Amino acid sequence: MASVTTTTSSKPPVQQRGTFSKKFNLNYFLQDNISGSRGLLIWVSILAIVTVGLLVQQFNNAPGRTWVIFGVWAVAVLGTVVGELFTLHIGATRWLKENMFNNVSNSLMTLFLGLFVAIIGSGLWSWGVANATFDPALTHPDVRTFDGASWGVLWGARKLLLTGLLEPEHNGRVIQWTLTILGLWALSFIGTRESTRETGWGTWVRRIANVGWVLSPFISYIFLAGLEYTEPFIDTRRFILGTVLVVAVMAILWFFKVIQLNPMTTAMWVLAWPAAYLLWRGITLVSHNAEIFTPIDVDRWGGLLLTVIFAIFVNILSFPIGILLALGRRADVQGIPYWILWPIAIALTAWGLYTSTFGNCIGTPSFLCENVNLWATSRNTVEQIIAFWPLLIPLATWAFLRSFDGNFLQAFSVLFIEIIRGVPLITLLFMAIIMAPFFLPEDSQGLSNFWAVIVGYTIFSSSYMAELVRGGLQAIPKGQYEAADSLGINTLQKYRFIILPQALRILIPPLAGAVIGTFKSSSLVALVGMIDLVGSTKAIIANSQWLGLRTELYVFMFVLYFLVSSIVSWYSRRLEDQAGLGVR
């Protein structure tokens, strides 16, 4: 009869709580934390010497504070050691062991950082609070205390910091605009909360907020720039041109089956521009008669107001342009055939050589030829070579066909993005101000520096925004494109309903970074003569009343930029959580 033998697996003995750990070995402990290698020994020795030296110095300079820090550190180390050796860990000691006292090096580093932070914090407290003054009357160099901050400059120069050179009578409109934007943000925040998202009133809150954000550019313009009424009440040219453009957009969207039309929606599209135009002109007329929203010179904007306006306007304008550029860069459309491009290129080359290089304008209309003979007026070999510039046309045509296969849309998008990204922002800002008059009619009043900088800044930001959007488009799996094609929908429908919604969801983190970057880099407009927050700070420092108060103003700017960046980052993370980004 066969016997069955059963074996039971032996389990390691469980360490009883409150007894000394049998796993602890002093030699292994020293080898792991101090003497394991020459580099580790040197590092721990240097760290111990520096920490002890700093501790002794602080005992001499601030004994009370140092005893508190050292006592807290010693108690934490003792609790961690006892919890580890006698398996008496509680939640606090376990966290300390895992994050701050998991080895000798980190334990010393914790004490060193505690002392260092205490030194910095004590100095900041003494300068910023204990020895500081807050009265604007005590900011003059004759009565100022130099051992503490003079925070009174922030209140005394609040006008320059907030609105720059803007006339004081317009401060009420700036406050109303600020409250309007904050109210829209509050509605968006409430409408997207988890507790209100599925309720009926939450849906209405979101709709009101969405309509408000769509109208916010016009509301901002009315409050901050004002309305100027000009005769006649209805400009026939603008009225007809706007209606034609809206109807054309409607026809294109209907042709590509992006929208569906019925008598009601068709009437809404056709009447959209006339109704909006008449409403705008009516508001302008009422404002003119009642003198409510009088025009404001936008070049008078300054301070924090100008910085915020730049960040908002540039991001709103550059985002759709960036989407179009990204789609254009990925566009796979039929290019211009070579048998069309080459005859045009040869004809342009011959015309350039005939009229420009050799200056022969016989039989050429005057508006096409300025009778300039570059070859005859050349003074050296370099200018003679430049005189034959029309020969570059065939070379450019060959490069265009070879690189883009005649795809003009893709070529324009790629060249625009790469050229603009290769140029510094400050160069574009100067070029926008200098070259803006060349693109305006001769009888125009010119373009203000603000709008010229907005154009240059938008062009720069849109090139980077295009690359962000392109990254989002490339992150979409290829199967999504193939599934969209299998449904038989056209390209516009594919991107509108399937691709772009997924890509924009992925783009929430980099878009938040772009918004923060735009807000911070808007300080460069101070280099082109505009008084934003940084420019206002320079003007305040140069004032005899606040001469030399740089540190207080720079600390204020640091805190302000940090708070705005933190709020945008927090809101971005909130949108990521709501969109389920990173959740599979």
Q: Do 418 and 397 share a structural domain?
A: no
For residue 457, give both structure tokens: 């800044």
pLDDT score of 555: 92
- From 107, 129, 151, the end of a domain falls on 129
Question: 554 and 464: one domain?
Answer: yes
C-alpha atoms less than 13 angstroms from C-alpha of 570 in its C-beta half-sphere: 7
Amino acid letter for position 375: W
Are 208 and 241 members of one domain? yes
Q: 558: domain CATH number?
A: 1.10.3720.10
pTM of the model: 0.80
Do residue 413 and residue 397 come from a single domain?
A: no
How many domains does the chain contain in total? Answer: 4
Question: Are 416 and 464 found together in one domain?
Answer: yes
For the segment 120-138, what is each residue's pLDDT rounded down to a tens digit? 999 999 999 888 889 888 8
106 in any annotated domain: yes
> What does the pLDDT read at residue 557?
92
- C-beta of residue 254 within 8 angstroms of C-beta of residue 261: yes
Q: What is the pLDDT of residue 38?
A: 86
Q: State the SS3 of 34-70.
A: CCCCHHHHHHHHHHHHHHHHHHHHHHHHCHHHHHHHH
Give the domain-ending residue among 290, 324, 345: 290
| Residue finishing a domain among 258, 290, 322 | 290
Domain presence at residue 93: yes
pLDDT of residue 92: 83
Q: What is the CA radius of gyration of the chain?
A: 34
Assess if residue 530 is contained within a domain. Answer: yes
Cα–Cα distances (Å) from 145 to 35, 324, 414, 538, 540, in that order, read: 53, 57, 58, 21, 18
Domain membership flag for residue 306: yes
Whether 177 is covered by a domain: the verdict is yes
For residues 509 and 419, state if they share a domain. yes
Which residues of the chain fall below pLDDT 70? Answer: 1-24, 360-372, 441-446, 581-584
CB-CB neighbours of 393 under 10 Å: 19
Specify if 6 maps to a domain. Answer: no
> Measured at the alpha carbon of residue 173, what is the angle toward residues 169 and 175, in degrees to the nearest 5?
110
> Is the same domain home to 226 and 306?
no
Same domain, 425 and 526: yes
Give the domain extent around 350: 334-406
Does one domain contain both 66 and 178?
Answer: no
Look at residue 2 in the predicted model and tell me its pLDDT.
43
Range list of β-strands (E), 445-495: none
Contact criterion met (CB below 8 Å) for 160 and 306: no
Residue 348 and residue 318 share a domain:
no
DSSP 17: T
> Is residue 319 situated within a structural domain?
yes
**390 plus 447 within the same structural domain:** no
Using CB atoms within 10 Å of the CB of residue 26, give its burial: 0 to 12 exposed, 13 to 18 middle, 19+ buried: exposed
Residue at 583 is within a domain: no
What pLDDT does residue 468 have? 92
Q: Supply φ then ψ for residue 447, to 5 degrees.
A: -105, 130
CB 133 within 8 A of CB 151: yes
What is the structure's pLDDT at 72?
92
Q: Cα(258)–Cα(524) distance, rounded to whole angstroms? A: 41
Is residue 443 domain-shared with residue 542, that is, in the same domain?
Answer: yes
Cα–Cα distance measured from residue 148 to residue 26, given in angstroms and rounded to the nearest whole number: 51
